[in-house]
Structure 1
Amino acid sequence: MNKYFFHTLILNIFLLHTAKGESNSLEIDSTIHQKQVKQIDVKDIIKVIFSKDTTIKNANFKIVNKDKSFAVLPAFNYTIVTGFLFGVNTVQTFKTSADSLTKQSNIRTFTTYSQFKQFSTIINTNIWTKKNKLNVLGDYRFYKFPSTTYGLGGNTTFENANLVDYLHFRAYQVALRKISNGIDIGIGYHLDYHWKIRETNGDNIFVTDLQKYGLTANSISSGFSFNIQHDSRTNSSNPTGGSYANIQYRYNLKLLGSNQNWQSLVMDLRKYIHFPSNSKNIIAFWSYNWFTFAGNAPYFDLPSIGWDTYYNTGRGYPIGRFRGKNLVYLEGEYRFGITRNGLLGGVVFTNAQSVANYPNNGMSKIIPAFGGGIRLKWSKLTNTTIALDYGIGIGGSKGVVFNINEVF
């Protein structure tokens, strides 16, 4: 684990650098808005359609930090693992205090059902208390997930596909306390419970990686975490500047119900830069690195593409396409406006990953993907967007991704 950790840390140190004179991201936006044409969003369009008044009025951007936003939107995706997937996503953006320093909080929910009879319901919370003294993060999920796993390592192909079925319950809760400007530390509890795990291929003619690694009817990972966080973003849902870093060490213990003792380390690093500097366009960088050690994590708790908090890593590949004891992931994205009124925007992105091969745990080749997407502004006051992306990976992999707000 050590050499992967230190190589990755050196590679990503630049993401932690925050430029001198960095401003409040919403203040940057409000200044730009005032200098340009009137900004509109989907809500303005809806009001015009259903109102006798066909004039779209400009917003008062001075109160941007006090406004709330709530969206209920249909969701649809297509990947090889899920087929066509439909559901409902919601996002509520708000502030717990009228204090100008308090960051925006958000609560997101995702409920989906796919053509392959996969059901999931997810609640993600990111709550900031007054003056950002406390940051409370929650991740609760339930999956009924008949799907495909492709084995371990970065050299697997679609021919390695293995049909599995299981139920999964997740409960993560983390609380971080502000110790200085831009630095929070805290502890958390994490539970992953998989049950009714079974392969559904029928009579396999080959021994799968799941069988080699250890196929069990259920698995439990239960443990505490220690967390360090830096966040200079004002709007975590759709950042327009600043940087973010979260380092989480998790210790799963038999004493807390785990099948076995094992540990993990996750480093989530992000940086947002205006380019050109006098525009609203953003170059965004993301590094997500996930290591396991000091024991063997259950197969479905191993680092895997698409299993980050908002399952956004690996656009261009189906969820779970690459899995191993360690995962190194990098992504870059350019976000730009298409219409001057802010209603429509676009992105182009590229990502690359490497996972530990099995059973020697040496890191695999670099696995790239690229793509683009469109952005539709839902609320100009809270900078909430509707995102639709199309990604292309190697080996014929591709897929559509739908999000409320930016991918990272």
Structure 2
Amino acid sequence: MYKLIILLILTLCLARVPHANAQGDWFKRFVKKTVSDTTAPGESSFRIYPTLGYSPETSFEFGLSSLLIFQAKKDTLNRLSEVQAFTFLTLEAQYGIWLDNAIYGDKDKWFFLGRTRFQRFPLLYYGIGPQTPDKDPALIDANYLLLRQRVLRKIVPNLFVGPEIDYQQLYNTGFEQPDDHFYDKPLGSDGARNIGFGAALVYDNRHNVLNVRKGFFGEVSFLKYSPALGSNQNFRSINVDIRGSHPTSIRNVFAWQVYSSFSAGNVPFNQLALMGGEMIMRGYYYGRYRDKGMIATQIEHRWLPFGFSKRFGAVAFAGTAVVGPKLSELNLKYIRPSGGVGLRYLLFPRKDIFLRLDVGFTKDGPGFYLFTGEAF
């Protein structure tokens, strides 16, 4: 809970900074620019703000987030595009850069959807399968690089299709066994480089990706990884992601998501279906459970904002997921639940975009997340 308090205090400090003296005017201007939103409709907005966190694995974590939002040709009839960046550094000398993009062209002719990750960060490894040890994970320390991008073309209103590329690499790896448990080293733990090519079919009628008050998103994608394409391993994967958001009142939204990922072939451990993280099954460490297949669902109710506040809101969410080697071998007795609550701060009033602070609860304990925009 202490981490949640630290993050909340930092957010409130950004929103309510005291009057600065002459020598601190640059900081005052920076904060005022960060928490205000004076751009006209259609104009782009860019914000930078710091983040702070703590966990036993990282000690204190210091970060810097930035967000660029815009509409093609400054036309308010075009969808809101976003590019997010997040950098972090911990007292354990871990660091990383994350970049996410959802960019719509004029009249939706093109849609660029992707993410980039680079990090030097320990990966906790509990094994593969729906039943893994509750404690004493192995530690895989490595440099990790991910580049995944879809280049989609509109074929009819709200329906897009196009190629997809995925590049993932682990290098400078080290596998550290725990004192009380021995793990077989998984495929890829000594380093891996895999390049996948495929295609994606996307239906998307959302107008604001970062805060969907009404809309539907559906994606089916297929990727093939092969030595002929430059990969270390030969495998393939198919992913399905379906999301819906439904307003229940002028401020309240009910949202849901169903996600599945299945792979076949020689799949490295870092490209298996991974349960947990900041988007779905919040509260579980990302990759706490992993296997070649996973089905996950979540629901969320959002108060954006509260009826008595112009800036603050909240959410409550719950999810379930199960992993297994293939669809026919998913076992209902291994379904894992998660749930939690979150605070929201209206960072861009004119664009209806919130800063989210979530805490997810599982049998392993709580997980904390501070990001711009909703989880899904």
TM-score between both structures, scaled by the size of structure 2: 0.84
- 1:74 is aligned to 50
- 1:353 is aligned to 321
Contact (CA 8 Å) 2:69, 2:80: kept in 1 or not? yes
Q: CA deviation at 1:114?
A: 2.8
Q: How does 1:315-394 map to 2 (within 5 A)?
A: 315-336=282-303, 337-356=305-324, 362-363=330-331, 365-394=334-363
Q: CA deviation at 1:362?
A: 4.1
Alpha-carbon separation, structure 2, partners of 1:86 and 1:361: 42
Q: Deviations over 1:8-63 (max 9, x none)?
A: xxxxxxxxxxxxxxxxxxxxxxxxxxxxxxxxx99997799979xxxxxxx999x6
Q: CA deviation at 1:173?
A: 2.2
Q: Deviations over 1:173-231 (max 9, x none)?
A: 220000001100000211101112221237x664414x2x4355211111112001111
Quickly say closer, same or farther: Cα 1:194–1:281, change in 2 above 3 A: same
Contact (CA 8 Å) 1:233, 1:243: kept in 2 or not? yes
- 2:24 is aligned to none
Alpha-carbon separation, structure 2, partners of 1:81 and 1:324: 23
Contact (CA 8 Å) 1:81, 1:148: kept in 2 or not? no
Q: CA deviation at 1:83?
A: 4.5
Alpha-carbon separation, structure 2, partners of 1:45 and 1:216: 46
Unaligned 5+ segments in structure 2 are 1-11, 21-27, 30-36
Bigger relative contact order (CA 8 A; separation at least 6):
1
- 1:20 is aligned to none
Q: CA deviation at 1:298?
A: 0.7
Alignment of 1:152 with 2:128, yes or no, is: yes
Contact (CA 8 Å) 2:44, 2:74: kept in 1 or not? no
Alpha-carbon separation, structure 2, partners of 1:159 and 1:44: 39
- 2:235 is aligned to 262
Give the match's secondary structure for 2:232.
coil
- 2:202 is aligned to 229
Root-mean-square deviation (CA, aligned residues, Å) is 2.8
Q: How does 1:9-408 map to 2 (within 5 A)?
A: 64=41, 66-79=42-55, 81-201=57-177, 206-209=181-184, 211=185, 213-214=186-187, 216-276=189-249, 279-293=250-264, 295-306=265-276, 311-336=278-303, 337-356=305-324, 362-363=330-331, 365-394=334-363, 396-408=364-376
Alpha-carbon separation, structure 2, partners of 1:248 and 1:226: 6
Quickly say closer, same or farther: Cα 1:96–1:316, change in 2 above 3 A: same
Give the match's secondary structure for 1:131.
helix
Alpha-carbon separation, structure 2, partners of 1:214 and 1:297: 7
Contact (CA 8 Å) 1:183, 1:228: kept in 2 or not? yes
Alpha-carbon separation, structure 2, partners of 1:48 and 1:205: 55
Alpha-carbon separation, structure 1, partners of 2:128 and 2:291: 5
Contact (CA 8 Å) 2:322, 2:330: kept in 1 or not? no
Alpha-carbon separation, structure 1, partners of 2:152 and 2:208: 18
Contact (CA 8 Å) 2:51, 2:63: kept in 1 or not? yes
Contact (CA 8 Å) 1:106, 1:125: kept in 2 or not? yes
2:146 alignment partner AA = R
Contact (CA 8 Å) 2:177, 2:183: kept in 1 or not? no
1:298 alignment partner AA = P
Q: CA deviation at 1:357?
A: 5.8
Give the match's secondary structure for 1:214.
coil
Quickly say closer, same or farther: Cα 1:47–1:403, change in 2 above 3 A: same
Counting aligned pairs with the same residue, the percent is: 25
Equivalences, count: 349
Alpha-carbon separation, structure 2, partners of 1:369 and 1:93: 31
Q: CA deviation at 1:397?
A: 1.9
Give the match's secondary structure for 2:290.
coil
Give the match's secondary structure for 1:145.
strand
Alpha-carbon separation, structure 2, partners of 1:406 and 1:196: 34
Alpha-carbon separation, structure 2, partners of 1:79 and 1:405: 22
Q: CA deviation at 1:162?
A: 0.9
2:183 alignment partner AA = T
TM-score between both structures, scaled by the size of structure 1: 0.78
Quickly say closer, same or farther: Cα 1:291–1:77, change in 2 above 3 A: farther
Alpha-carbon separation, structure 2, partners of 1:328 and 1:83: 32
Alpha-carbon separation, structure 2, partners of 1:354 and 1:302: 13
